[in-house]
Structure 1
């Protein structure tokens, strides 16, 4: 039998760069490295409702052939795959795992309370943050394991870190381009700081896949961008360090309070970039305030402007964080995280 099968949004044949797809691919590749390709199986959920029959068939095949069965579902996928896993496991008696993407599961259960009993049947529910672990344990779950998000990145060396920055300070974003990621809030904040100063204090380069429901709105916004704001397109995650390494800092103004461990922050750390971020629910799990980044009140545009003004008056504070960011990057190695998982459960 194969050691492990993974159901997730692989998007085979498509160049998809969203966080869920990246996490699925990274985990699968690492399991292949450590267990051998012949001991792994992938079931792709890309394609939506029209692919449901093939998803079911693939999942059944996985249960027949794999000792350990994993699923990394999105919102609707939890409602579909958790009951399916429960039914199949009554037949095949496998070890089953729900690898959580993001930090929304606890609040999701307020709406879908019926899911709790079935979720408790998994061998383990692997969450990204201690915040999520504690929240689910308060609900009576005893099968919660901490499994940080991870990326296989060629970390910058300490010798390669740039230490000299002058105005304008180059900021970037490196995640999905959508309203919920706070991109508009960041643009307005940078414009406000620059206009108040009467000069270009900050520039902003925007990287990432534009969310399909946001394309028209973003295209209209781009026409109004000042010269110091540019959209640079999408970059493969394995090219992130080379793309980011010469920036002053990464901005993460998310408006999603239930973010887990955002992959973009792992990218930033590997490139030696401190992070300017809103304080979402699990902020303290990922960012050490004033050591690897600076946070501001969640959802407050005024607080974001204040942070940018503060950094403007003391840019050395950010520069001094760069070495700590490289050290922090070591915590998110796929080899260590998957290796620890295999040792515990396989």
Structure 2
């Protein structure tokens, strides 16, 4: 075995979120580009049987390179064992960080910091996290944007020739993702008598929010379209005009929602989360609204609805920016870790 991709694939329940999608994309990219044998281990199988951890250790021992994408608990409890087996087997670990939480996580974990300093590479999505981790003395840090394993040239946004403005929200359907703001936008559109706008929501619904969410759907003109399978995202998103991202998670890393929007040619209207300015170019690829300022967010969206020329300008800028999130740029970086 040459390369093992180790992380939360979510295949057991077909869970689709930023963690699972990135993990699958890393596996598919390595499978496509590398000349080595590439296999994977889905840590979600621990929920099926704790004995699967023995299978994971055996796969680590047989590998030459491990591309590791752990969530919080995996890094806290499993990583020390992964590190131990990699050391005794001379396996190179490359840790691909998902999100922006790692620096805070390591604040009081000296042993984890020691082990991470000793692995082959740590690949982070944002300059902010790169800066914070460097304060711990890491010398094995690399910048690696989140990405999608797809040929960008095949993805072209649809031309809007009917005068309608199509808004979309695609993320986990949870209040902390700002989904309630979507219903406020819909209410404002109705109050103003605007008729050329549609709003669609895609994503897995947080269990504790389902009843409230569907009540709001029934009382609004917002459409819930279910979950988009990863292989169908770029057939659907290019049909829209604007991506709505009113997140209330301040410590987002590089959200997959924004990545998918850019690849699809969609500008993003975002709240000012921690790394917003790094990924949304104000007035160029979208707009950033002060955090938790719902009235300003709504007014920003309404202003764009009334200005189709501005939407077209933003779309053209997005098509230029998205190249840095393509597979060629990512593979150039990952390939160095295999030498």
Matching of residue 162 in structure 1 with residue 159 in structure 2: yes
For the structure 1 residues 179 and 159, does the alpha-carbon distance in structure 2 shift closer, same or farther, using more than 3 Å as the test? closer
Indicate the residue corresponding to 1:258 in structure 2: 251
> Match of 2:20?
21
1:106 CA displacement: 1.6
CA displacement 1:318-339 (0-9 Å, x = unmatched):
2211122122222112343134
Conservation of the 8 A alpha-carbon contact between 1:124 and 1:145: yes
Q: What is the rounded CA distance, in whole Å, between the counterparts of 2:44 and 2:332 in structure 1?
A: 27
1:107-129: CA deviation from partner (whole Å, max 9, x where unpaired)? 22346555322322222111111
Greater Cα shift, 64-73 or 327-336:
327-336
Provide the residue aligned with 1:304 in structure 2.
297
- For 2:288 and 2:330, the matched residues in 1 are separated by 27
Of the structure 1 ranges 58-67 and 7-16, higher mean CA displacement relative to structure 2 is found in 7-16
Q: What does 1:1-346 align with in structure 2 at a 5 Å threshold? A: 2-12=1-11, 14-36=13-35, 39-49=37-47, 51-54=49-52, 56-110=53-107, 112=109, 114-155=111-152, 161-164=158-161, 166=163, 169-195=165-191, 197-200=192-195, 202-224=197-219, 226-227=220-221, 229-346=222-339
Residue 159 (structure 1) shift: 7.5
Please tell me the root mean square deviation across aligned C-alpha atoms, in Å: 2.4
Distance 1:233 1:291 in 2: 30
Alpha-carbon distance in structure 2 between the residues aligned to 1:249 and 1:298: 19
The 2-side partners of 1:86 and 1:160 are apart by 44
Q: CA deviation at 1:48?
A: 4.6
For the structure 1 residues 187 and 112, does the alpha-carbon distance in structure 2 shift closer, same or farther, using more than 3 Å as the test?
farther
Equivalent residues of 2:237, 2:264 under 8 A apart: yes
| Runs of 5+ unmatched residues, structure 1 | none
Q: 1:70 to 1:203 in 2, by over 3 A?
A: same
If the length of structure 2 is used for normalisation, what is the TM-score? 0.91
Structure 1 segments, 4+ long, off by >6 Å, are 156-159
2: CA distance, partners of 1:90 / 1:13: 30
Unaligned runs of 5+ in 2: none
The Cα shift of 1:134 comes to 0.8
CA distance in 2, matches of 1:275, 1:119: 34
Determine if contact 2:10/2:16 at 8 Å carries over to the other structure. Answer: no
Q: What per-residue deviation string (whole Å, max 9, x for no partner) do you get for residues 43-71 of structure 1? A: 111145553331x2233222221111122
CA pair 165-304 structure 1, distance change in 2 beyond 3 A: farther
| Inter-CA distance 171–111: structure 2 relative to 1 (3 Å threshold) | farther
Q: TM-score, normalised by structure 1?
A: 0.89
Aligned partners of 1:292 and 1:325 also within 8 Å: yes
Count of residues in Structure 1 that have an aligned counterpart in Structure 2:
339
Structure 2 CA distance for partners of 1:52 and 1:71, relative to 1, 3 Å: farther
The CA deviation string for residues 161-215 of structure 1, in whole angstroms up to 9 with x for no partner, is 4154635x221011211112110123223423542x2334643100112233433
Would the alpha carbon gap of residues 73 and 212 (structure 1) be closer, same or farther in structure 2, given more than 3 Å must change?
farther
What is the distance in 2 between the residues matched to 1:286 and 1:302? 23
Shift in Å at residue 35 of structure 1? 1.9
SS at match of 1:255: coil
